[in-house]
Chain A
Amino acid sequence: MNRPALGRWLVRFAVPPLVLLAIVIAVWDAATVVFSIEKYLLPRPGQVFLAGWRDHARLLSAALVTGEASVCGFLLSFVVGLGVACVFSQSRVIQRMVYPYAIFLQTVPIIAVAPLIVVWFGYGFQSVVVVAFIISLFPIITNATTGLTAIDRNLLEWFELAGASRWQLLWKLRLPGSVPHLVVGAKISAGLAVVGAIVGEIFAGAAMHHDGLGNLINQTNANLSMDTMFAAVLTSTCLGIVIFGTVSLIGAWVLARWQGAEV
């Protein structure tokens, strides 16, 4: 992107959300003053900012811990989800057999099964990864299954005529053909993995050696330091954006190579 184009892009896509952000902060700040809201209920934006500044080392290390768990959960669900989808693409019967339970995975309230996860995996990192995995698995399964099965009829017939084996069909047609769907699934799943990791930390993360953003939110909530808690929530959001953005960039790069576009 050259300079004027970058400038135009900024004006079109970066400025509008920033304007809204400024308005929200101003209203928030004004509201705390006008209605004289107590700090332990709603801290002022400035106080949140200061808390973030004061505790930046703690926030950063918490973000790294949560980030690690999110990425592990995401990678796990990508691999497992793709594997499940590959099995689905080979057999309609297995797909019909298993799919209802995959939906169950998506609809089960994670908080309800959290105690069970703790029993199985103990408090801490492993359980957090498991929660992130469960929450981010479904979009990969559905998108990958769609990608692997929604192949152009003529292409399938062409492969049949060429005498391709089941394995060749999967490896040379279905898998590469599903790349655009996989990218979509990965983007959705990456965002959910961060949510899953933080939820996991809140309900199953309490451990001496695990100190993620979810733990921090728990602790600050308990001792009513709302300014730090708000800073932690904002950091969580940033972490989500960073991970989603990274996966999106990788996805865009993969897609560009896939289509052979001149980037």
Chain B
Amino acid sequence: MSSAPAMVAADALDMTFPGAIHALAKVNFTVRRGEFVSLVGPSGCGKSTLLRLIAGLASPTVGTLSVAGLPAAVARRRATRLSFVFQDATLLPWRTAAANIGLPLELAALAGAEREARVRDSLRMVGLSDFARRRPRELSGGMRMRVSLARALVTHPELLLLDEPFGALDDITRQRLNEDLLDLWLKQRWTSVFVTHNIAEAAFLSTRILVMSQRPGTIAADIAVPFATPRRPELRAEADFARFVGDVGRELRKGRE
């Protein structure tokens, strides 16, 4: 995997917001194609800001950030298929689940039959085939998040950015969605950058974890996750897993000092 070409490369990123809030300082990291990388860190450490930089929604004050070899803002507009999943499902309340999922294709002017087939596939992938015609308000929080995920996957993204997507869900739903997300990733092998403050979630999902320090955020540790994929849900109950989560937690605390 380490020989795969870089999907995201950050070089000496520095980000200062108006009002002299120093959000990121000298951030260096690389995410290779096909990796599932989690960013964990204390709240306010700039991990969401980092994700927005990768998405090209903001520009760094200093330093360069390239996505698929192009500056992030350019990459988004060209060639690179990038999807973003927010903490809220951010669905359109007046559209059905299917119409919400089809929206990115509609915006890209993809014709009817192909679009329908892709929407149907995406619905099936997230296990919502029977809920295609429901509106967001008729769905549970977990189901809404699934719709949001399906909408992100319908474009067959090369790079999927997830900003604490399961943070607002209860633990059981979160674990189910983690397992489903991991399965989908194993099948489709897009590149993921996943922001969370939940270490166990990061350990279960990722191939690599980047631990961030408190503001101004830097990469305090770069930890490879030692568990082979596919991963069974029971992994979470194993001693190795608990020890690993403990190790990452220690790095996180170190970064706070």
Contact = CB atoms under 8 A, between A and B. Distances in A.
Contacts of A173: 92
Interface residues of A, number: 21
A154 B88 contact: yes
Contacts of B103: 162, 172
B138 interface: yes
Contacts of B88: 154
A106 interface: no
5 contacts: A157-B84, A168-B107, A258-B93, A259-B135, A259-B137
A161 B135 contact: no
A158 interface: yes
Contacts of A159: 107
Interface residue SS majority, chain A: helix
B108 interface: yes
A163 B107 contact: yes
A233 interface: no
A260 B137 contact: yes
Given A154-B90, A161-B84, 8 more contacts: A154-B86, A154-B88, A161-B76, A162-B104, A163-B77, A163-B108, A176-B94, A258-B93
B106 A160 contact: no
B57 interface: yes
A6 interface: no
Contacts of B76: 161, 163
A168 B92 CA distance: 14
B92 A176 contact: yes
Contact of B55 (A155, A161, A259, A261): A161
Interface string B76-90: 110000111010101
Interface string B54-82: 01010000000000000000001100001
A160 B107 CA distance: 11
A152 interface: yes
Interface of B: 55, 57, 76-77, 82-84, 86, 88, 90, 92-94, 96, 103-104, 106-108, 134-135, 137-138
Most A CB contacts (10 A, CB to CB) among B77, B107, B137, B138 go to B107
Contact of B90 (A158, A172, A259, A261): A158
Interface of A: 152, 154-155, 157-164, 168, 172-173, 176-177, 179, 258-261
Contact of A155 (B92, B96, B107, B137): B92
Contacts of A158: 84, 86, 90
A161 B54 CA distance: 11
A261 B138 CA distance: 8
Nearest to A158: B90
B107 A162 contact: yes
Nearest to B93: A259
A153 B96 CA distance: 21
Given A162-B103, A162-B104, A260 B86 contact: no
A160 B90 contact: no
Contacts of B94: 176-177, 179, 258-260
B107 A164 contact: yes
A163 to B, nearest CB: 7
A183 to B, nearest CB: 13
B203 to A, nearest CB: 27
The 10 closest A-B pairs by CB, nearest first: A260-B135, A154-B90, A258-B94, A154-B86, A162-B104, A164-B107, A161-B84, A162-B107, A176-B94, A158-B90
A175 B113 CA distance: 26
Contacts of A160: 57
Contacts of B84: 157-158, 161
Nearest to A261: B137
